[in-house]
Amino acid sequence: MSFQSHRTGGPLFRLFICACLVLFVIWSAAPILWMIISSVMKQQALIARPIDLSLSNLTLENFLAVMNSAALMGRGIFNSLVVSAFSTAIAIALGAPAAYALARLSVPHGNTIAFIVLATQMLPGIAIAIPLFLLISKLGLIDNVLTLGVVYLSFNLPIVIWILRGFFQAIPPSIERAAAIDGAGVIQTFWYVILPISVPPLTAAAVFAFVEAWNEFFFALILTRQSAQTLPLVIANFAGQYQTVFGQMMAAAAVSVLPVVLLAIVFRNKIIRGFADGMAKG
């Protein structure tokens, strides 16, 4: 057996890898496919036992009903956009220099600080939900969009720092030495040298943080009432006390997924390159 065939594996190994990839794609795509199918099926077909997926039950009434709720959906979309954009922008603005400092500068106990940043993500949300609610309630900031944005920032910022720290750690020191020889200080090197070559990981971190904030439900449920409800809460409102309108809920979910899908398509190259660079160099 040649070295090449030994390295790449035999036919059975490649078949196993292909089978695993196919199963992974099916596992990942099945919920999205079911969402799309449910969004164009009549309510009676979805609650039937077994579910009736015949073509005669196809309908666009679910999307029409969602369009009739345009005011409610529009408010949810607007609030989600404001909260997600706000938390993402601040997370990138604070996380990028923090990640660079932890990765490249002689910060005392830098590794410990980085571990503490990561450890904040290990704490379940339910553990801080009650004290957080009491604090925000005392401040009179319940049902406020910017309050929700600040809360989302608390879990987006550590993610951004860890994504960017791995990339910054692998930047060749020669780049910074060349900038220092030209008279650039730390801030100038970061702003004019490091950031321009960090667009892919910055984009990947920003998209990841945006999607996390866009999909968040738990804290939005606790900290909002009516005016600051985000899109996930608006979708949940299709579940009534006596009946859940599955088709309309799935149609609203399909509408909510569309901006995220478009975002991923537009920035897919930078996302893939950013995460690949971070994993390969971190």
Q: pTM of this prediction?
A: 0.83
Q: What is the pLDDT of residues 12-71, one digit of tens each?
A: 888 999 999 999 999 988 988 999 999 999 988 888 888 888 888 889 898 888 888 878
pLDDT score, position 55: 86
Distances (CA, A) of 41 to 27, 60, 108, 111, 235: 22, 8, 60, 53, 17
> Which parts of the chain register pLDDT below 70?
1-9, 240-242, 274-282
d(C-alpha 150, C-alpha 237), whole Å: 24
58 three-class SS: strand
d(C-alpha 135, C-alpha 131), whole Å: 6
Place of tokens 């990561």: 118
40 three-class SS: coil
Domain architecture of the chain: domains with CATH: 63-281 (1.10.3720.10)
pLDDT score, position 1: 44
Contact 245, 63 (CB under 8 A): no
pLDDT score, position 282: 46
Contact 182, 228 (CB under 8 A): no
Contact 2, 21 (CB under 8 A): no
Give the length of the chain.
Answer: 282
CB-neighbour burial class of residue 33 (10 A; exposed 0-12, middle 13-18, buried 19+): exposed
Give the distance from CA 77 to its chain's centroid.
Answer: 16
Evaluated on CA atoms 133, 138, 139, 142, the torsion sign reads positive
Place of tokens 């553990």: 127
Closest CA to 233 of 79, 10, 26, 8: 79
